[in-house]
Structure 1
Amino acid sequence: MPDRRSYDDPCGIARALDVVGERWALLVVRELLLGPKRYTDLARGLPGSSPTVLSQRLRDLEEAGIVTRTTAGPPVGGRVYELTGRGRELDDVLLALGRWGSRTVQTSAGQLGTDAFVLALRTTADPARLAGWSARVELRVEDGAGSDRVVLTVDDGRLTAARGAAASPDAVLAGTAAVLRPVAFGRRSLDDALASGDLRVEGDAAAVRRLLAAVVAPVPA
């Protein structure tokens, strides 16, 4: 990219940072890990980024072959941005970075968006507690305008996620982000949230409990 500075270092790490090391670049990738998004949805998920910077990062990532523009059907619809195969290879990179960063003392007053929340679940889920079983749980993160739907899939030690509704999930966990986050990270019990009606579970409640029990709060470094 001729308009950007390079580290001019043959190391693979330096070459990677030449591509995704600019401010907001990896967070754009984070917002697309679950599936395609419209520009307006990307901007809502990255409220600290200006339209000028976000548009430039998207152009940079397109030029690098990490992001592409396409037309999506329901539920997203219209012109969207999505990760290419090369971009999806950053999934494990972001998981490792999120796992490392979760042990850093939190000073931000901001709230986790749905995509960041789901990535946090994946980075803090203990593979040992996910091993030996499988399940699909549809997560419905509700707000006044509707709900974000994400399918969480446990498959013998690994937790993956994709945007959208599941055709036949083992269970559905629904509620507002303000309730889901403290329950997921152990600051409020699931039983309390269910008893108050703040959360709802449909289907196999045991699968939901087992999934939440696999989420382990990080120990600060």
Structure 2
Amino acid sequence: MGTTYGQFCPVAKAMELLDERWTMLLVRELVLGSEHFNDLRRGLPRMSPSLLSKRLHQLVRAGVVDKVVDGKDVRYVLTPAGQELRPVVEAVGTWGARWIGELGDVDLDPKLLLWDMHRNVDHAAVPRGRTVVHFRFPELRGPAGRWWLVIMPPEEVDVCDTDPGHDVDVVVTSSLRDLTDVWRGARSWADALRAERVSFDGPATVRRDVPRWFPPSGFALVEHADGLVAL
């Protein structure tokens, strides 16, 4: 651990571990079910691999995470101590969703958005068999503006930044900010469609069902406060 506050208070002692840069976001990814190094990297795309390795080592040493090795398969799993951080992560996220205002441009990331969407698909609402959703962000140049989710039974979803080569069932076109606003609960699918902030291109039956595939979840359900905290 880095900072030592020199206080016996349990809050101070906990923060000596948890307020290291990226640590709580790494715990968030572990709470959300990511266990492999590459999956953790995809949820934290701006964190360097070396720093991720360092933070994982610190959490293992602190007894928050277990490193489970099975041949070449290496997983990072929360211990009972780590699982007790779930309500902490949820409380911080709820506070942020309720009180923090609009996102800046630097906060928008198509890779992170699609990664979050991929793990919140309602598989019961998606048609049987393989379903391919192509996302287009016209304002982003090159590969950053084109993404695919390949949804397969029973509960597998792949995030692709290159064309997976399958027939596309529906194309979702939006600005990155507008789709992020829908996903974080600042705007509903219905409102975004009416305002032509989001469009679906595909068979009518598919277009109708797309919002059911990606229902609001987690922090998107938090009611926003009127007086927001300025950062």
| 1:45 shift after superposition | 1.2
Aligned partner of 1:63 in structure 2 is 61
Q: Extract unaligned runs of 5+ from structure 2.
A: 127-131, 134-146, 157-169, 194-198
Moved more, 35-44 or 106-115: 106-115
Indicate how the Cα distance of structure 1 residues 30 and 18 shifts in structure 2: closer, same or farther if over 3 A, else same: same
- 1:91 correspondence with 2:100: no
CA distance in 2, matches of 1:114, 1:12: 37
| 1:78 shift after superposition | 2.6
1:178-209 CA-to-partner distances (Å, cap 9, x unmatched) read 769616723321895785835746xxx7xx98
User: Which structure 2 residues correspond to residues 145-184 of structure 1 after superposition, within 5 A?
Assistant: 146-147=150-151, 165=155, 182=182
| 1:41 shift after superposition | 1.3
Aligned partner of 2:188 in structure 1 is 187
CA distance in 2, matches of 1:35, 1:210: 18
| 1:145 shift after superposition | 6.2
The amino acid of 1:197's aligned partner reads: V
| 1:138 shift after superposition | 4.0
Comparing both structures, which one devotes a greater share of its residues to strand? 1
* CA contact 1:38–1:80 (8 Å) conserved in 2: yes
* CA contact 2:94–2:222 (8 Å) conserved in 1: no
Aligned partner of 2:224 in structure 1 is 218
Q: What TM-score results when the alignment is normalised by the length of structure 1?
A: 0.59
The amino acid of 2:190's aligned partner reads: S
1:48-86 CA-to-partner distances (Å, cap 9, x unmatched) read 1111211111111111111112258xxxx9322121111
Give the paired residue count: 175
SS of 1:10 mapped into structure 2: coil
Aligned partner of 1:11 in structure 2 is 9
SS of 1:197 mapped into structure 2: helix
Q: What TM-score results when the alignment is normalised by the length of structure 2?
A: 0.57
CA distance in 1, matches of 2:189, 2:207: 11
SS of 2:82 mapped into structure 1: helix
| 1:37 shift after superposition | 2.0
- Compute the RMSD of aligned alpha carbons: 4.5
The percent of aligned pairs where both chains have the same amino acid is 28
* Structure with larger Rg: 2
The amino acid of 2:221's aligned partner reads: V
Indicate how the Cα distance of structure 1 residues 215 and 18 shifts in structure 2: closer, same or farther if over 3 A, else same: same
Q: Extract unaligned runs of 5+ from structure 1.
A: 122-136, 150-163, 167-173
| 1:10 shift after superposition | 0.8
User: Which structure 2 residues correspond to residues 86-165 of structure 1 after superposition, within 5 A?
Assistant: 86-102=81-97, 103-105=99-101, 106-107=103-104, 108-111=106-109, 112-113=112-113, 137-138=122-123, 144=148, 146-147=150-151, 165=155
